[in-house]
Amino acid sequence: MSPGRAPSPGHTPSGGEAGGAPGAIPPALARRVLARCLPLDDRGWLLAELDDLYAARVRERGEAAARRWYRRQVPGFWLRLQADRIRRAARALTDPRFLREMTHMDAYLADFRYALRRLLRTPLFTAVAVLSLALGIGANTAIFSLVNAVLLKGQPFSDPEELVEIYTSESDGYPYSTTSYPDYEAMRGETALFDGVVGTRTFPDFYASSPHKWLLAPQGTGLLWMAPPWRERLWPTLASGDWEKGGAQRFNHVGTLDESRLAGLLAALEFYRSVGPERIWDRVQVLQRRLREGLAAIPGVRLRSPEPGRSAGMTAFRMEGVDALALQGHLARAAQVRTRVIGEYELNWMRLSTHYYNLPGEVDRVLELLDGAARHGIAAPGGR
């Protein structure tokens, strides 16, 4: 322990400090001898530190052992102080700045020890202070990272003013529609217009499916795919068997599982594989082409879906002057045809889906009903 100046004139010796053992009073004679040996500037904080150490010894080893330890500090401190004074004097003879530097260093160390001791005695205050500093540093770091990425750091490409964002818009509807993958591939090939084209959502991190429609699985079944990094970062909301294990299987535990639906889903997948995805695709496209050609011949009908090859089995259209909800009810009453109305953004579209189990005659029946509605209107429910 090197002597130095007192860090705080308000520091009091042992006996008034919180954390000391009750009645832990050092030997009076030994304490007076130490007080006379120590320099005046160092006396207060050195005696206070020795008092704290003495109180700790009393708690750990008993008062008798602590008093013997305290008495042994008198000659030890005196010898260390004398040796330190001799070294300082010898060094000061060759470099007068050394004495000032050592005095400053001792002061810094004394301040550090005093601050550390005070923080340890008030753990709640210390925790609040450290947490406040951590939050402040974290917030400033996040703000600077954002400013650096947006304003200060250069963009990872040249000529940022030539960067554009491309949307697929409808002529009479929503201006920011999704872009199909074939359109994306077509734009990538336009080297005369674009230096490069990048799709921002070409491969998602998550993909969910409701297989009861196109896979003909039971209602209530579903599929969820997630990218491998997310499988370890996310956790299911229900704690069930093996929920703590890794992999995607733990997301399938939702309590008592309805195994009949799972069996139905597996059967639907097996049937899908037995028919073959190529045959299903060809069948759906044939039926969709038959539907599109029939819709194009009906007056007042405007197709909204892309041409075959760029769309699946769903065909969206609009019939001028006819409300889509009224048309939906008409098809349901006349032939039990189930449709989907796209009423968002006041589009007034209707969507028909040709599945591979549909028959050409069913498509023709729907076209007949639509043609009649376009030419003669829709009769009121219950009317003739």
Q: What's the confidence (pLDDT) of residue 253?
A: 65
Q: Mind listing the domains of the chain with CATH numbers?
A: 28-121 (no CATH), 204-274 (no CATH), 277-376 (3.90.1150.10)
**DSSP conformation letters of 232-250:** HH---SS--TTTTSSSGGG
Q: Which residue has the higher pLDDT, 381 or 62?
A: 62
pLDDT at 353 over 50: yes
Mean pLDDT, to the nearest integer, of 351-357? 90
pTM greater than the 0.85 cutoff:
no
Long-range contacts of the stretch 290-297 (C-beta < 8 A, 24+): 290/354, 290/360, 290/363, 290/364, 291/315, 291/352, 291/354, 291/363, 291/366, 291/367, 294/363, 294/364, 294/367, 294/370, 295/367, 295/370, 297/371
Residue with tokens 């259209």: 317
Mean pLDDT, to the nearest integer, of 57-72? 86
Q: What is the pLDDT of residues 100-109, one digit of tens each?
A: 555 666 777 7
Q: Which residue has the higher pLDDT, 89 or 132?
A: 132
pLDDT at 368 over 90: yes
Q: CA quadruple 372, 376, 380, 384: dihedral positive or negative?
A: negative
Q: What's the confidence (pLDDT) of residue 330?
A: 92
Q: Residue 334, CB half-sphere, CA atoms under 13 Å: how many? A: 21
Helices 96-121 and 40-61: crossing angle, nearest 10°?
40
- The rounded distance, in Å, linking the Cα atoms of 376 and 334 is 15
pLDDT at 14 over 60: no
For residue 207, the cross-strand partners are 225
Q: What is the pLDDT of residues 189-220, one digit of tens each?
A: 766 677 777 766 655 677 788 888 888 899 88
At 364, is the pLDDT very low, low, confident or very high (cuts 50, 70, 90)?
very high
Mean pLDDT, to the nearest integer, of 161-188? 72
pLDDT at 6 over 70: no
pLDDT at 170 over 70: no
**DSSP conformation letters of 286-322:** HHHHHHHHHHHTSTTEEE-SPPTTSS-SEEEEEETTS
Q: Lowest mean pLDDT of 47-61, 136-150, 202-216, name the range.
A: 202-216
Q: What's the confidence (pLDDT) of residue 47?
A: 81
